[in-house]
Amino acid sequence: MQFEFATSTRIIFGAGKLREAGSVVKAAGKRPLVVTGKNVQRAEPLLKLLRENNVECSTFSVSGEPKIQTIRDGVDFARREDCDWVIGMGGGSALDAGKAIAAMMQNEGDVLDFLEIIGQGKALKGSARFLAIPTTAGTGSEVTRNAVLASPEHKLKVSLRSAHMLPSIALVDPELTYDLPPNVTASTGLDALTQLIEPYVCLRANPMTDVICVEGIRRVGRSFRMTIENGRDQEGRSNMSVASLFGGMALANAGLGAVHGFAGPIGGMYSAPHGEICAALLADVMEINMRALRGCAGRSDASKRYDYVAGLLTGNDQATAGAGIEWVRQLVSDCKIPRLSAHGIKSEDIPEIVKHAKNASSMKANPIVLTDEELAEILRRAM
Ligand SMILES: [Zn+2]
């Protein structure tokens, strides 16, 4: 057995923890750049904390998923404002933007030089301190070492990736998710679930990520529906925030699978939220993976792992994979997650998506190599 598990992020978890974070923000640096989502108002609890602790800051808001140009603008602004560290507060987009800006503040040259696939993939030399404060329970970006950036001219999403990009601190306060509307709770929560199931069955799963995934999936099984029905359910929100955090740690240390192999190219080609894409694909990927695994190739114990996932989700330890797939399918349907066709994806686009998805890094960790026809079938079913 061989594996690595790395995290140097200090994790502070708990309801109300943001209000108590005065000493954390005072110790981190002089002047933070606060990176928020489109609605700066959502960062008000943080801005209040900074005011109370006499920490002056500059704010930079990101609308939609971050683009390469967003990072250039953010770094220019941070330098003009003399910021020496960064706080990202928001969903995955704000956290990824903050993480990439913090990294580029400590590196010469253009962000493109450091990007995979479309750039030169140069190594980052370091990063400014970065504090991540998630306001959704989904991406786990608060503990991952990459930032997903869109390049509209390439119609691609690529990662800026480096061990230096692990956030210095992740402050996870489930209270910040209490007011999320049910549709956002659903799509981000299904991303979190996907980021626990894929690392658990994938080719690079290891004993450390296994315990994290099992515990995360169990909490999703127990609490997902509760948070949709009552957004202020404290235990449910707390469990979903744990699940998101664990998903981030698992994907950063094990990898993902076909759902995320598709989500990268689809996210680059269409303007569809990441969580909705993953949610629309999850059950069909599980089903086709299970069918392909019956041919005995691939990860030898992956079918058993899908059975175990079913037990964790349904609470019935006799459950087999089919019951888990059905559990996911019913949840996605009850949450009214749009089908892929709702994002403008047409059947004639399938070959192009398959071509890109095959080469995505996430696809390489899928428990079994799927054929082009199997990949196309997944897309057709999710349309
Ligand atoms: Zn994801």
Q: pLDDT tens digits, residue range 115-133?
A: 988 889 999 999 999 999 9
Could you tell me the pTM of the whole model? 0.96
User: pLDDT per residue over 360-377, tens digit each?
Assistant: 999 999 999 999 999 999
Q: What's the token pair of residue 122?
A: 């140069």
Q: Does 20 have pLDDT greater than 70?
A: yes
Give me the helix-helix angle, 372-382 and 350-358, nearest 10°: 120
Residues pairing with 132 in the sheet: 88, 170
Q: 35 CA distance to ligand 1 centroid (A)?
A: 21
Helices and strands (H, E) in the chain, number of each type: 13, 8
CB within 8 A of 203, min separation 6: which ones?
255, 299, 364, 365, 366, 367
100 neighbors 71 (Cβ within 8 angstroms): yes
User: pLDDT per residue over 159-216, tens digit each?
Assistant: 999 999 999 999 999 999 999 999 999 999 999 999 999 999 999 999 999 999 999 9
Q: Residue 300: what pLDDT?
A: 79
Q: 194 CA distance to ligand 1 centroid (A)?
A: 7
Q: Name the residue with tokens 């404060």.
A: 133
CB atoms inside a 10 Å sphere around CB 52: 11
Q: Name the residue with tokens 């493109």.
A: 112
278 neighbors 194 (Cβ within 8 angstroms): yes
Alpha-carbon gap, residue 264 to 148, rounded angstroms: 9
Classify residue 315 by burial, with Cβ atoms within 10 Å: 0-12, 13-18, 19+: exposed
Q: 24 CA distance to ligand 1 centroid (A)?
A: 28
Q: 248 CA distance to ligand 1 centroid (A)?
A: 9
Q: What is the DSSP letter of 369?
A: P
CB within 8 A of 301, min separation 6: which ones?
none
Q: Does 257 have pLDDT greater than 90?
A: yes
Q: 49 CA distance to ligand 1 centroid (A)?
A: 30
Of the candidates 171, 119, 116, the one whose C-alpha atom is nearest the C-alpha of residue 146 is 116
155 pLDDT band, cuts 50/70/90, is: confident
> Distances from the Cα of 173 to the Cαs of 137, 185, 306, 311, 338, in angstroms?
10, 15, 31, 29, 29
Q: 51 CA distance to ligand 1 centroid (A)?
A: 34
Q: 160 CA distance to ligand 1 centroid (A)?
A: 16
CB atoms inside a 10 Å sphere around CB 179: 12
Q: 47 CA distance to ligand 1 centroid (A)?
A: 28
Q: Does 40 have pLDDT greater than 80?
A: yes
Q: What's the token pair of residue 210?
A: 């296994």
Of the candidates 380, 192, 201, the one whose C-alpha atom is nearest the C-alpha of residue 289 is 201
Of the candidates 245, 285, 240, the one whose C-alpha atom is nearest the C-alpha of residue 266 is 285
Amino acid at 187: S
173 neighbors 16 (Cβ within 8 angstroms): yes
Give me the helix-helix angle, 372-382 and 274-293, nearest 10°: 130
State what percent of residues in the chain have pLDDT above 90: 90
153 pLDDT band, cuts 50/70/90, is: confident
Q: 195 CA distance to ligand 1 centroid (A)?
A: 6
Alpha-carbon gap, residue 188 to 200, rounded angstroms: 19
CB atoms inside a 10 Å sphere around CB 154: 13
Alpha-carbon gap, residue 262 to 265, rounded angstroms: 6
Alpha-carbon gap, residue 336 to 368, rounded angstroms: 30
Alpha-carbon gap, residue 209 to 253, rounded angstroms: 7
Residue 156 in 3-state DSSP? Answer: strand
Q: What's the token pair of residue 177?
A: 């998710």
Q: Residue 124: what pLDDT?
A: 97
